[in-house]
Structure 1
Amino acid sequence: MKTMATLTTVAALALMTAPVFAASASGVVKSVDPSHDSIRLTDGSAFTLAEGSEAEDFKPGTKVAITYVKKHGESIASAVKIMK
């Protein structure tokens, strides 16, 4: 019984500490929400900007490439690069 409890604990810890994988997206900025530091692309996807990034840096019509992670159902942008 003690072995089963140990295995269950190890399995639970492994799931809780699973690595978070970054994803990427690109598109054109449709709108900017400075009050929530977020941007929305023309395809409807929305991203909250990480600390240190300001929504005011991006204007509608700007092409961007975004690296992000999903956290609690929200897309958090770790990097946003303005494309030419």
Structure 2
Amino acid sequence: MRRTAPAVRRRPPGSPFNTPEIPAPPAEEYAVGDRVSHDKYGLGRVLAVEQHVAVLIDFGTATYRVPAPNAKLVKL
């Protein structure tokens, strides 16, 4: 007996589930010296920026490299 793939369901044109794709917000740009807040580490200052890769931040007690995208990092 052969198994077939299930049929693809098409939604009617007036369906509320036919929503357009919402583009992601642009990634925040950081510069050396910016003050930032991190959910886990707290307040810090940007020491170095690796464009679209990571940000090196001094949080007072320690220095961390936070990789991009920085969901938990907020520019103040």
- Normalising by the residue count of structure 1, what TM-score does the alignment of the two structures yield? 0.33
Larger radius of gyration: 2
- Normalising by the residue count of structure 2, what TM-score does the alignment of the two structures yield? 0.36
Q: Which has the higher contact order (CA 8 A, sep 6+)?
A: 1
User: Comparing both structures, which one devotes a greater share of its residues to helix?
Assistant: 1
User: Comparing both structures, which one devotes a greater share of its residues to strand?
Assistant: 1
